[in-house]
């Protein structure tokens, strides 16, 4: 039986290398451009897009260690004319993304977490209009919060019964989002992402939790297949974070210090997110710095595959 360090050496090395190249991302994001007409990487989405993580008291807050910050830090090394614009909104769903109601926006700047001040989509469209032809890259992660009401039901049969109308609404909302972004700037590369599965952490709680984790994985496969289908249908590329986290690999058993023998997908969720962290910090579904590095690396690989300028 392999130890975890042997099984994921390549993936961990990639994450650490990206994290190292992304050192001090806040400074990079604020570095002024010497060009009178800078270009922008526009980051859209939910709490992952703003790098949310829990602090020592367990309060979830935005950070400068998110995947957008780390990806930008790498891209800006070869394109010093590039700036990062983050419009993401913690708690955003595919519906609120288009209609608003969670985060406050004023023009193209998010200024407060107050309701009824515009939508992320409107802010993104305003940003694209204000910087027409100078936004070569848009990344987006959206949809995970759409599932929260169903996940809260607690049992796989109830969740499965709840999800079909949620999936239908998500499909429609995301298609509208992508169509409007594409119409606003046909030349921008748009890249969405699939999600890792924080519910796999339930494996640690015993037999019933292991059953829930296995059922959650099946639902996550359906969810991510839906996202992938919509993104591709609307002409967007997909960063397959689900696969980068080895989310469907329950056959490989590894040894994680302090937790013992675990399926690889469970072990990676514990290593790369706060889902297995003890109170008060966890359990928290958000990625940690290394998890965000894995997501950023997945985006970077996707950009290379579509021959984006990296």
pLDDT-derived band at 24, boundaries 50, 70, 90: very low
Per residue in 119-171, pLDDT (tens digit) is 999 999 999 999 999 999 999 999 999 999 999 999 999 999 999 999 999 99
In tens, the pLDDT along 52-73 reads 999 999 999 999 999 999 999 9
Give the model's pLDDT for residue 6. Answer: 43
* Domain residue ranges in the chain: 4-305
**Could you tell me what percent of the chain has a pLDDT over 90?**
81
Query: Which CATH architecture group holds 4-305?
Result: 3-Layer(aba) Sandwich (3.40)
- Specify burial of residue 16 (Cβ count, 10 A radius: 0-12, 13-18, 19+): middle
What per-residue string of b and e applies to 173-198 under the rule 16 or more CB within 10 Å gives b?
A: bbeebbeebbebbeebbbbbbbbbbb
Report the predicted TM-score, pTM, of the whole model to 2 decimal places.
0.88
pLDDT at position 105: 82
Sequence-distant (≥ 6) Cβ neighbours of residue 99 within 8 angstroms: 119
Distance, CA of 193 to CA of 65 (rounded, Å): 18
């Amino acid at each position: 039986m392999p130890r975890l360090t042997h099984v994921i050496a390549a993936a961990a090395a990639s994450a650490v290398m990206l994290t190292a190249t992304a050192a001090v991302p806040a400074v990079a994001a604020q570095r002024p451009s010497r060009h009178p007409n800078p270009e922008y990487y526009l980051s859209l989405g939910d709490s992952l897009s703003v790098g949310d993580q829990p602090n020592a008291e367990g309060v979830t807050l935005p950070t400068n260690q998110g995947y957008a910050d780390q990806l930008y830090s790498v891209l800006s090394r070869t394109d010093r004319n590039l700036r990062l614009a983050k419009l993401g909104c913690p708690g955003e769903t595919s519906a609120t993304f288009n209609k608003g109601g969670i985060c406050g926006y004023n023009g193209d700047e998010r200024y407060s977490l107050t309701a009824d001040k515009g939508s992320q989509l409107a802010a993104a469209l305003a940003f694209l209009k204000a910087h027409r032809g100078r936004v070569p890259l848009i990344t987006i992660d959206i949809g995970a919060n759409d599932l929260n009401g169903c996940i809260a039901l607690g049992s796989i049969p109830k969740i499965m019964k709840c999800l079909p109308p949620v999936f239908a609404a998500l499909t429609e909302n995301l298609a509208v989002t992508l169509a409007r972004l594409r119409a606003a700037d046909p030349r921008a590369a748009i890249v969405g992402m699939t999600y890792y599965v924080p519910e796999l952490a339930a494996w640690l709680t015993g037999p019933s939790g292991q059953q829930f984790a296995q059922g959650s994985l099946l639902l996550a496969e359906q969810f991510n297949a839906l996202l992938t289908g919509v993104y591709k249908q609307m002409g967007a590329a997909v960063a397959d974070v689900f696969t980068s986290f080895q989310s469907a690999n329950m056959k490989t058993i590894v040894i994680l210090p302090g937790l013992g023998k675990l399926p690889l997908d469970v072990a990676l969720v514990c290593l790369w997110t706060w889902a297995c962290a003890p109170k008060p910090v966890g359990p928290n579904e958000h990625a940690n710095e290394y998890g965000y590095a894995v997501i950023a690396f997945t985006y970077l690989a996707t950009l290379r595959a579509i021959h984006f300028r990296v």
